[in-house]
Amino acid sequence: MAPASLQHHSNTVCVMDASGRLGSALVQRLLQRGYSIHAAVQNDSENESLKAIRIGNYKQKLKIFDLDPFDYQSIIEALKGCSGLFYTFEPPQDQTTYDEFMGEVEVRVAHNVLEACAQTDTIDKVVFTSSATAVIWREDPRNNKSSLSDAELDERNWTDINFCRKFKLWHALSKTLAEKTAWALAMDRGINMVCINAGLLVGPDLSITNPYLKGAAEMYEDGVFVTVDLNFLVDAHICVFEDVSSYGRYLCFNHVIHCNKDAVKLAQMLTPATPPPQKYDQDRRMIQQRISNKKLNKLLVDFESGPQPKWTDSKPFQIAKC
């Protein structure tokens, strides 16, 4: 029998949307851990990773579902028979730019998904992917700029919606509104939900157009510019799903950009054609880190030291070192 932390109605879970980088990585890792997967994708938009799985060793444990996030019934179909949902929002293909209207889209989808979960008897737990941008932005009365009091930010903080509208921080606005909607429904419908507030996901597809980067200079100066590697983010999702002690929100990152060297390295990743500045290493100033992921790190430590399912063959969970 599985450990107490893993007792669900079944070992079938849904990943929605599974076509993105995070979604497809979750599918692969969950299959390695012995789960059967309902992979919900928009407009049959499977990426190469999912296509490889469909013809690989795990194809019998993977079912692909066409998802229309505005069609309640298509969400219900993907959730049938699942004990859990890993939800991450992927913008519709005809509206990929974050603007002042994207918040309405993301809120509507979050509402549909959580309502569908409430109507699916087998769902034991929902892991909702949000963003660190739903935590870090608020008015600073001292300089009328971005947030920070002397206190360290953590998952108990919420981004100020009016501040986002004022400075056109559409990504932060969308993530905050959608997460608040999800929490309201989860509490009203009695859904067991946990939220991952992820830093900027780094990787080969990261570009200067990523909407998370709006306000990057201010995040850097405030000591809250955090990034996360894909493997760490996937591990965090699985940990909070499998551990019954998980609750509420978890800030998820494993690197803080708080020195000029880190900032230049990220800039080169975003714009590789631009030569680095000649004298950037003269600035040895260290920005004070003002954001904490202690809650997640403690959970990862406890989870790693606790009982693990016999079918686990993925690599051990790694703790962030910032």
Name the pTM for this structure: 0.88
pLDDT single digits (tens) 272-321:
776 666 655 566 788 999 999 999 999 998 877 665 553 344 444 454 44
Q: Is residue 113 part of a domain?
A: yes
- 156 within domain boundaries: yes
Give 100-140 pLDDT, tens digit per residue.
Answer: 899 999 999 999 999 999 999 999 999 999 999 999 999 87
Residue 194 lies in a domain: yes
- Buried (b) or exposed (e) across 63-74, using 16+ Cβ within 10 A? bbbebebeeeeb
| Mean pLDDT estimate for the chain | 86
Query: Rounded mean pLDDT of 243-259?
Result: 96
For residues 83 and 124, is the Cβ–Cβ distance under 8 A?
A: yes
271 confidence band (pLDDT: 50, 70, 90): confident
The sheet that has 12-16: what strands, in order across it? 62-67, 36-42, 12-16, 84-87, 125-131, 193-198, 248-252
pLDDT of residue 48: 72
Answer whether residue 1 is part of any domain.
no
Residue 27: per-residue pLDDT? 95
H, E, C per residue of 170-231: HHHHHHHHHHHHHHHHHHHHCCCEEEEEECEECCCCCCCCCHHHCCHHHHHHHCCCEEECHH
| CATH at residue 76 | 3.40.50.720
Considering 68-72, 92-96, 157-161, the range whose residues carry the highest mean pLDDT is: 157-161
The pLDDT assigned to 310 comes to 39
Structural tokens at position 264: 């230049």
Cβ pair 88, 17 in contact under 8 A: yes
Give, as one character, the DSSP assignment of residue 162. Answer: H
pLDDT score at 4: 42
The residues that are catalytic are 175
The Cα–Cα gap between 259 and 274 comes to 20
Read off the pLDDT of residues 33-83 as tens digits, 9 standing for 90 and up: 999 999 999 866 666 777 777 767 777 899 999 999 999 999 999 999 999
- Provide the pLDDT for residue 59: 78
pLDDT > 70: what percent of the chain? 81
* Residue among 131, 116, 109 at smallest CA distance from 14: 116
With CA atoms as reference, report the closest residue to 132 among 211, 210, 215, 226.
Answer: 226
Which of 115, 117, 65, 67 shows the shortest CA–CA distance to 92?
67
Q: Is residue 314 part of a domain?
A: no
Q: Give domain status of residue 257, yes or no.
A: yes
Interatomic CA distance for residues 87 and 85, integer angstroms: 6
CA pair distance 303, 5, nearest whole angstrom: 9
Lowest-confidence pick of 64-68, 74-78, 93-97, 217-221:
93-97
Residue 34 has a pLDDT of 93
What is the arithmetic mean of pLDDT over 86-92? Answer: 90
d(CA 99, CA 91): 11
Mean pLDDT of 158-163: 96
Asked whether residue 307 is domain-assigned, the answer is no
Contact 213, 235 (CB under 8 A): no
In this prediction, residue 3 carries a pLDDT of 38
Domain count, the chain: 1
What percentage of residues in the chain have a pLDDT greater than 90? 65
Peptide bond into 213 cis (omega under 30): no
**Cβ–Cβ under 8 Å, residues 36 and 11:** yes
Q: Which comes out higher in pLDDT, residue 175 or 148?
A: 175
Question: Is residue 51 in a domain?
Answer: yes
Q: Which domain holds residue 197?
A: 12-141+149-300
Predicted confidence at residue 117, as pLDDT, reads 97
